[in-house]
Amino acid sequence: MSKKNEASLSRRQLLRRRFFRNKSAVFGLVCLMIVVFLAVFGPSLSPWSWNLSDENGLDFNAFTESPYGGGLTAPSFDDGHYFGTSQVGADVFAQTMRGLQKSLLIGLLVAVFSTSIAAIVGASAGYLMGKTDRALMWLVDLLLVLPSFLLLAILSKWYQSSGWLLLVVLLAIFNWMITARIVRSVSMSLRERDFIRAARYMGVPTRKIITKHLIPNMASLLIIDGTLNVGGAILSETGLSYLGFGVRAPDVSLGSLIAEGTASAITFPWLFMFSGGLLIITVLAVSLIGDGLRDAFDPGSRSGKKS
Amino acid sequence: MKKKLKSLLGIASALVLASVALAAAPVANAAGGISINAQPVSKLKQGGTLTLPILYPPIQYNISHPDGNDADVSGMMGMTLPGFIYFDSAGKLQVDKNYASSFTQTKTSPQTLSLVLNPKAVWSDGKKISLADFVGTWKALNGKNKDYEAVSTQGYEDIASVKAGKANEIVITMSKPYPDWQALFSGLMPTSLTKDATTFNNSWREKPLLGSGPFIFESANADQTTVIWKKNPRWWGPKPLLDKVIYRAIPPSAQYAALANGEIQYMDLATDANSLKLARANSKLQVHDVPGVGTWEHIDMNSKNPILADVNVRRAITVALNRQVIAEANTGLFVKDVKVKNNRTFYEGQACHKDASGKYGKKNTALADQLLDQAGWTVHTGTGNDSTGKPKVSGMRYYSGPAKPGLVANQPMTIKFTYPTNYPNRANIATLTQAMLRAQPIGIDLQLREVPRADYFSKYVDSTLLDFELVTFAWSGSSFPIAGSMNLYAKDSEQNYAVDSVTAAMDALIKKAESELNPVKRCEYANQVEAALWNNAYNIPLYMWPGTSATTKNLANFGSFGPSSLDWTKVGFTK
């Protein structure tokens, strides 16, 4: 495509074109769409329920049909166990879909929350400078040196009883600091730009400058970082759930399913490979999309550099 | 007073007996449950080292002390402490001729026992095994001196005197009939261990200072994760084949890899389906598939909990569970014909076994529904808030009965199931119980509470702390089933986890079964106790642990012993 042609396109069209030219990003997008589709519609594709207390939660026939013993049956389409059944006769497909739903939801929410916090804190610090900057950066440094994973593990008793939304908030609280630092340095350069100065001298209130002028001008950075944060958040959540500090039974997440299936990875692989595979695909897809977005926003930076 | 039993294994044994398996006369055993790669000794190689896995490093080698009451330590001490009986390959009780030429009951009133020692029997320091050792053991374990922290005083508390008879004869006179008298003095202690309470409680914590059997203690590393046993040079019996037996602490999750690598030659497979599948596929290993005869898994209900104090609630929980499914899930990979356990005292195949479960033995949702309604727990429909101010959940149960201590109107029926981390089988039981109790129309809000495996018995499942509502663990079977079992249910027993579920009438029956000498009547009493335990929903027996194990193919006379005893002098490797 010629330079001239590109210039006549709107910025949005240009971005779209650059993004779709990137094969790995498109691959990531397709994967993510499939994963989201599964998370949303997966549970209704199966005659079985993820909730073991439901009437169709446990398949008691699996116990008589199992060639291995227990409730274990390999994946098959005959009785609707697309991913097989577990030792207690639970449908692995229904559980995996539910776990995917939970992990994706938690990942997305954490990314949105933590990127928002990062944007507000980073922009305020970078724009206001002085004492505000010192105080906020002190907070960032403090949170950075805290062993967040350990703290979450210790707090797990408390948040596990009050529902998974609290887990989202806590994960977000420990996830925004690096982005905030990048945002701060970008804000520091932006605040000296003419349009910000003009706004300031015209008497636009600080809050408005930050929300209306600073942050929109960093949108590309925030979108890229937010996307990459989704992958990190999903990994944090699954990590916590794997160790038993995250989502708890009777609810499931990819992490808790992987934890249950690890021991059977070689012997009864269907207990492990679907949840493990979906986790890899999801995080990979999100990362590829993030890289694609970065390349689209900033063609000068090629994949491999830190945004 | 009986001392509290502490178990590191998850199996507190009812009777502490080293290296003896099940059932005294009159309880005939189901024969044939043995798979040990039996070979004549002449065909085996002289020498070799056998390495066996243990779960935890030993913290006490005195197995009569609560800290030493652990299956691993009992196994080790079984090769060195004197015992006067063993169970042959048919599961029949025999006198161990290495130690005694006879052990008989000579008079019934007062019950008098005669034990004739083998004059060659000596301790590893050269001293002869003598009357003084018997007197010392009796005095340490009879409960008279509370400073001796004895794991159990059963039997010994009923001894009136221990005296010398004719040459090498020990005469034991009982003050009260003790039907399982053959269990006495198994794991006899030397006088150097029993001379005073401090010595008894503490002197064998680092290492056993004396032995007598085919193997004696050689050394252990500082943290006791490796314990080495060597041949006893003073052993007078048939010479053992092995040079050394080494015990290494290996967590269950790592045992299969160790076995496949040849680091150990044996592992217990009773609970791990994944290791079982791998072992079956490994041509270097032999899997010993035998039905279980000892350990059985059950769910305990804390009768001190206000909700579970009501017998109808406990009955409802018992019949709300599909025990067959739980048994299938956890043992279906090991045994073909999975059966639930319906008798706590006897296992299927024993002469006295009887299905004592009555109407509470089968899943019956309608009955559970009715019993819960009777107890005042009704299923919620419509709107409204519970006693904590949260909106009620439709289909779940809330209290609407008369005010009782610990129960208020509209209280949600929330109970917790406590189970240990890294224990898939117990997590399965918890998951299935939760699913079955939350299902309609039962509607009990069962919550799962996973606690660290190392703290499971010390902080939660403890008969004095009782920090649980529902909990699952196992009891190991006893060589003397009635005594072992009754010891779990007697009202004054420290192994009783649900004292309030035992009525005075039941306790009287338990006492009768404990001291009855007529074997037929004794079985009857024991089964009457069983029926009463079922009727009062004391606990929920689930299934027998399979007796499955795996060994390397070259190991002989070792594996799954079923109801028979292990003979250390015959264990060896093929040529």
**Which chain B residues touch A244 with a CB distance below 8 Å?**
421, 450
Domain boundaries, chain B: 11-290+548-573, 296-373+415-544
Q: Do B434 and A250 touch (CB under 8 A)?
A: yes
Q: Are strands B49-54 and B244-249 parallel, antiparallel or unpaired?
A: parallel
pLDDT, tens only, B444-465: 999 888 888 778 888 888 878 8
> How much is the pLDDT for B440?
85
Of B278, B331, B432, the CB nearest to A88: B432
The pLDDT, as a whole number, for residue A281 is: 93
Long-range pairs for A158-162 at CB < 8 Å and ≥24 separation?
A: A160/A245, A160/A248
**pLDDT for the residue numbered B164:** 92
Interface test with A, best of B255, B276, B277, B421 (most A CBs within 10 A): B277
State residue A1's pLDDT score. 44
How many residue pairs from chains A and B have C-beta atoms closer than 8 A?
84
Q: Are A91 and A48 in contact (CB under 8 A)?
A: yes
- Chain B partners within 8 Å of A270 (Cβ): none
Q: How far apart are the first and last CA of chain A?
A: 26
Q: Are B333 and A264 in contact (CB < 8 Å)? A: no
Q: Would you call A70 an interface residue with chain B, using a CB distance cutoff of 8 Å? A: yes
CATH code assigned to B11-290+548-573: 3.40.190.10
Record: contact A68-B333, CB cut-off 8 A: yes
CA distance B546 to chain A (A): 13
Task: Suggest the residue from B423, B428, B548 to mutate for an interface test with chain A (most A CBs closer than 10 A).
Answer: B428
Domain range annotation of chain A:
18-306
Q: Does A63 touch chain B (CB under 8 A)?
A: yes
Q: Which residue of B has its CA nearest to A160?
A: B449
Whether the CB-CB separation of B333 and B506 falls below 8 Å is answered with no
* Domain A18-306 falls under CATH 1.10.3720.10: yes
Partner residue opposite A70 with nearest CB, options B333, B421, B438:
B333
The separation between the first and the last C-alpha atoms of chain B, rounded to the nearest angstrom, is 52
Fold of the domain spanning B296-373+415-544: Dipeptide-binding Protein; domain 3 (3.10.105)
Instruction: Please tell me the predicted confidence (pLDDT) of residue B6.
Output: 32
Interior angle at CA A62, CA A59 and CA A66, nearest 5: 165
Does pLDDT of B556 surpass 90?
A: yes
**Length reported for chain A:** 307
With CA atoms as reference, the chain B residue closest to A265 would be B274
Query: What digits encode the pLDDT tens for the residues B48-66?
Result: 999 999 988 898 999 999 8
**CA angle (B143 as vertex; B137, B144 as ends), nearest 5:** 100
Query: Can you tell me the distance from the alpha carbon of A32 to that of A107, in angstroms, rounded to the nearest whole number?
Result: 13
**Least confident interval from A212-216, A275-279, B115-119:** A212-216
Question: Which pLDDT score is estimated for A147?
Answer: 87
ipTM over 0.85: no
Nearest residue of A to residue B330, measured between CA atoms: A70
Q: Is A60 within 8 Å of chain B by CB?
A: yes
Q: Does A53 touch chain B (CB under 8 A)?
A: yes
Least Cα separation, residue B157 to chain A (angstroms): 45
* Tens digits of residue pLDDT in B92-105: 889 999 999 999 99
